[in-house]
Amino acid sequence: MASLVSFIKRIYNVIYPPTVPKISSSSSSPSSTPSGPLKFGILGAANIAPPALILPARSHPEVVVYAVAARSLQRAQAFAKKHGIEKAYEGYQALLDDPDVDVVYNALPNALHYEWTMKALAAGKHVLNEKPSADTAEETRKMYEFAEKKGLILLEAFHYRFHPALKRAKAIIDSGELGAVKNITVNMILPKGPVGVDDIRFDYSLGGGAMMDMGCYAMNCVRYMSSSEPTSVVATSHVAFVPKSAPASYVKNVDRRMEATLGLPKDVTATIVCDLGVPPTFGFIPKMPKIGFTMDCELGSLEMYNHVIPTLYHSITVKIKGGHTRVEKVYKGKEGKGEEWWLTYRYQLEALVDRIRGREPETWLTKEDSVANMEWIEKVYEKVRKYNRARRQLLMRVCRQDSVVGRNLAM
């Protein structure tokens, strides 16, 4: 009964987080720069924005969601009215031109991350950039180098990395309790339905594909939990996305499903499976989502269910060979900041604000981490020659975008 009550309270606060008073200039310490709350502007009236920023901001005393920009003013105004946002802009540049915006949340499609993150940095804004960071590792590298040159903070939004549940799973592996890691399997699998056929995730020109969307989590998880970089892409298999009424001339250039086997140091192997829409059994029995990872080790195994949104529910199952099995759940760390109802996004926001304010965050993702993740995503696509997106078409776009923002690079 106690666990049920805790679950209900947790979910209620996820949906209706408490709103806290925002700090004012007078309440800020003399060393705070700038004083008062950080004003965030959202690029794109996207569905991800409410859980990723708007709801977490309510309970953060140093954050105000101040502005939103969309391609049409009507869409921006409707989004602003719905979520209590002060400013609405037609066009993304108009928001960047607002001197009151301190931080930009880039919630645009993948193919627009590079262009608008570079423009936001050129305008002097810190950036929280949705994952995957960009279309290529080269784009990612350029963004971070420019942020460093401008003295600004850039963070790729791998929100799940900030939650204490994942940290606990990593601590168990790092403790040596289960011995050396032998194999890692990460599943990021959705049933057919939630991702519609007209979704941007199925649009190649916007950086779509299962490996780009769900797969970027899987690749990041393998690298984080193994504390190592892959050494090779051993094998891949894929299923192309094909609309039901696709003409004969339809180009199959986006992966609906991607599987990859990776080689890691010390003879460790890893398998990632990501799917944006598994068809129902017998054509009508829907599949269940499969989100989690398993680590097979010398002395046992660790399985974490729902590592991406653990606040809703998760489990960490530890099995000792020839011994006992235990299940752990961690909704709040024993030390540090946080509440049981904090979403992964709220922990992420805490870390971002700490870094911008000059405080040391409990968790952080580095430039090297983001660049390496895109490098290995590219290598998976290169293994599947059909989806080799790492070169000509994308590099041509990079060159066009560089011509737009290049004049700012000398600033």
Alpha-carbon dihedral 384, 388, 390, 394, rounded to 10 degrees? -160
Rounded CA-CA distance 382/377 in Å is 9
197: Cα within 13 Å, side-chain hemisphere? 7
d(CA 404, CA 384): 32
Q: How far apart are CA 151 and CA 403, in angstroms?
A: 22
Q: Which listed residue (39, 87, 131, 383) is catalytic? A: 131
Contact in structure between 303 and 293 (CB atoms under 8 Å): yes
For residue 328, the surrounding DSSP H or E stretch is strand 325-328
Please state the separation of Cα 174 from the chain's center in Å.
24
Number of residues assigned to the chain: 411
**CA–CA separation, 196 and 244 (whole Å):** 12
Instruction: Identify whether 119 is a catalytic site residue.
Output: no
Distance CA 44, CA 380 (A): 29
- Catalytic residue numbers, as ranges: 131
